[in-house]
Amino acid sequence: MTRLGIIGLGEMGGSIAAGVLGGPWGDEVTVVGCDVSEEARERFAALGGVVAGSPGEVARQVDLVAVVVVDDAQVRLVGGGDDGVIAGAAESGALVAVHATVRPATVVGLADEAAGAGVRVIDAPVTGGIQGARSRDLVVLCGGDPGDVERARPHLARYGSLVIHVGPLGAAQRAKVARNLITYAELAVAQEAIALAAAAGVDLGAFAEIVNHSDRTIGPHVGTFTRPIVHPPPPMGGSYTAIAHKDLQGALALAEELGVDLPITALVDQHMDAAFGE
């Protein structure tokens, strides 16, 4: 039996709720949630969720409280106070999992405050997006005491296909921002590539097909994460670096010719040697 509480029923929290409430376990799962938005509360209730009036009211009814708010200030706001998560969890014995991507110090501070009330906290940021939440296919990165993570695992597994312990409290937040760095850097460079292709008169539909097909064989991140990671990277030989600079400088030369600004590409060219261990 899972009694899950969700603080924050916006895009991610609401999608987690939708995935869990739409799962194949029927009466085995109860989801209690709260949000400042009446619209979010109504959507949640329509899914079969139990609407509570405050974070504390949620925490008093569940075994695990998932804090799915936006930022550090909101984590602190819903965590403390007379009717916050800590106060409610102190009565029920609920474990608190901070899914929001926040500073490690914020989670440590919340855990220190919670410890005084006998409440346990883990940091558990998620990745996989809205669709991953709705399909119960999130990755849940967990930082904290191993016993607390194992206690949380059966509940987190209702919406996380991978629940992975990465270290002590705060470690999951550090891993999450490193993971997000890849996403945002790739997005920014992809937009530069599209701008260059468009300016050069390349058919963008064909360009998308080229990228998607070649990624099937090259693999995401050129297979970096499918083989053992060594840091710093071992030298791969000057030929790799030379080819990388040739291709990047070719892109920059074309961009200059067409009047397209590629600042991220220029930075990559400046720092490419380090990627090849040179």
Active-site residues: which are they? 176
Structural domains for the chain: 2-168 (3.40.50.720), 175-275 (1.10.1040.10)
pLDDT value for 74: 97
Whole-prediction pTM: 0.89
Per-residue pLDDT reduced to its tens digit, 207-254: 999 999 999 888 778 778 878 888 888 777 778 889 999 999 999 999
pLDDT value for 224: 80
pLDDT value for 47: 96
Reported as a pLDDT band with limits 50, 70 and 90, residue 158 is very high
Reported as a pLDDT band with limits 50, 70 and 90, residue 156 is very high
Q: Distance between CA 10 and CA 13 in Å, rounded?
A: 5
pLDDT at 146 over 90: yes
pLDDT value for 36: 96
pLDDT value for 226: 78
102 CB-side CA count, 13 A: 24
pLDDT value for 147: 98
Q: Distance between CA 206 and CA 213 in Å, rounded?
A: 11
Residues of the chain with pLDDT > 70, as a percent, come to 100
Question: CB of 125 within 8 A of CB of 68?
Answer: no
Using DSSP, how many helices (H) and how many strands (E) does the chain show? 12, 9
b/e 1-23 (16+ beta carbons within 10 angstroms → b):
ebbbbbbbbbebbbbbbbbbbee
Per-residue pLDDT reduced to its tens digit, 28-86: 999 999 999 999 999 999 999 999 999 999 999 999 999 999 999 999 999 999 999 99
Mean pLDDT of the chain: 95
Q: Distance between CA 183 and CA 176 in Å, rounded?
A: 11
* Helix, strand, coil percentages for the chain (3-state, nearest 5): 55, 15, 30
Helix axes 104-115, 72-79, angle to 10 degrees: 10
Q: Report angle CA 29, 33, 70 to the nearest 5 degrees.
A: 120
